[in-house]
């Protein structure tokens, strides 16, 4: 997948400065790039790396000069680079055609151009949309609906009735639609509470390896369009994750949490049940958000229990001084005892 610098600049909304006929056929880091691979610079401190690179073409901010290079100038170089990479890199296929060892139920509906890898299982009444790829050893249970142009990597499991939109990518080992962790205590034991809801995943969602998303209890679990979940994220039953929210690895979300749009969550964060994060909230890594807490729109919180970033930093400074303060208290106590 090659393009000229002029073609690429037009497609990503960049301003061309240099040889528009230069052929580009890939992307790379400056130190590893070949002459016809694209690199990017997002700050003046990285100009020396780009200048020393074998790459002939650089995406750069408007105020950067790199002699001898063709520049694609853009106000957001990293974003422009990501868009360029999508046009220059061809994704490796997950499967090609329908493998003879794949098990496809007679009543499954398989659209044109679908590929299904070795030992994958497609159950009755499942629908697989056009040009979707299903990886080896994946299981698509009865009644699942998968849209078009999806990429389902090896060993993904979709429980019955899961609904997936278009252009969704699910990485290896993910499990979607398992029963939520819901029990009613009584009579000296725990009684399983019904887990009869569904999981609905919107368009353009990406789900990391070994992530788990539980089905709803009496309601449904919903992941809106454009959400990005890292590896090893757990989403509990009845959760509602708003559009274009990003959640980093090892985050655990208890049941019935509601997250708004464009929320950002750092790695290893934990959420008690029924938390509510409004649009644009930011949760720092390893934060613990207590059950029922509301984080307001645009607010940044950190720590356990999660509090405003300003308060967290103030308290952290005092926490770092505790050994010093303890020593001073001991010294004062010793002086008092001598009196």
The catalytic residue positions are 237
- In sequence order, what are the residues at sequence separation of 6 or more whose Cβ sits closer than 8 angstroms to the Cβ of residue 321? none
Distance between CA atoms of 125 and 77, rounded to whole angstroms?
45
Distance between CA atoms of 209 and 73, rounded to whole angstroms?
35
In 3D space, the residue among 180, 182, 181, 174 whose CA is nearest the CA of residue 158 turns out to be 174
Count CB-CB contacts under 10 A for residue 120: 25
Ranges assigned E (strand) in 50-120: 57-60, 70-73, 103-104, 109-110, 115-116
In 3D space, the residue among 265, 266, 231, 233 whose CA is nearest the CA of residue 252 turns out to be 233
Full DSSP string of 115-182? EE-TT-EE-TT-EE-TT-EE-TT-EE-TT-EE-SS-EE-TT-EE-TT-EE-SS-EE-TT-EEEEPP--
In 3D space, the residue among 242, 237, 203 whose CA is nearest the CA of residue 221 turns out to be 237
CA angle 224, 157, 171 (to 5 degrees): 65
Give the helix/strand (H/E) hosting 30: none
Count CB-CB contacts under 10 A for residue 31: 11
């Amino acid at each position: 997948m090659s393009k000229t610098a002029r073609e690429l600049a037009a497609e990503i909304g960049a301003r061309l400065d240099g040889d528009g006929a230069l052929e580009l056929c890939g992307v790379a880091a400056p130190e590893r790039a070949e002459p016809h691979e694209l690199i990017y610079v997002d700050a003046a401190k990285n100009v020396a790396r780009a200048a020393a690179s074998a790459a002939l073409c650089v995406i750069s901010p408007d105020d950067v000069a790199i002699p001898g290079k063709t520049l694609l100038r853009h106000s957001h170089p990293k974003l422009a680079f990501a868009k360029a990479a999508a046009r220059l890199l061809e994704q490796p296929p997950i499967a090609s055609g329908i493998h003879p060892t794949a098990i496809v139920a007679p009543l499954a509906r398989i659209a044109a151009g679908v590929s299904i890898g070795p030992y994958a299982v497609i159950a009755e009444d499942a629908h697989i949309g056009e040009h979707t790829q299903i990886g080896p050893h994946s299981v698509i249970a009865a009644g699942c609906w998968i849209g078009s142009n999806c990429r389902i990597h090896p060993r993904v499991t979709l429980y019955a009735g899961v609904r997936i939109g278009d252009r969704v990518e699910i990485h290896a080992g993910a499990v979607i639609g398992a029963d939520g962790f819901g029990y009613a205590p009584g009579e000296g034991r725990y009684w399983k509470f019904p887990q009869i809801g569904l999981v609905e995943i919107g368009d353009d969602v990406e789900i990391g390896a070994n992530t788990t998303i539980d089905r709803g209890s009496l309601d449904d679990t919903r992941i809106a369009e454009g959400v990005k979940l890292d590896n090893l994220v757990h989403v509990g039953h009845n959760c509602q994750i708003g559009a274009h929210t990003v959640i980093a690895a090892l985050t655990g979300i208890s049941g019935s949490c509601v997250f708004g749009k464009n929320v950002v969550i750092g790695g290893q964060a934990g959420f008690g049940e029924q938390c509510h994060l409004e649009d644009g909230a930011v949760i720092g890594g390893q934060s613990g958000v207590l059950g029922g807490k509301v984080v307001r729109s645009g607010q940044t919180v950190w720590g356990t229990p999660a509090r405003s970033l300003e308060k967290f930093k103030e308290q952290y400074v005092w926490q770092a001084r505790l050994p010093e303060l303890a020593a001073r208290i001991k010294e004062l106590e010793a002086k008092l005892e001598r009196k």
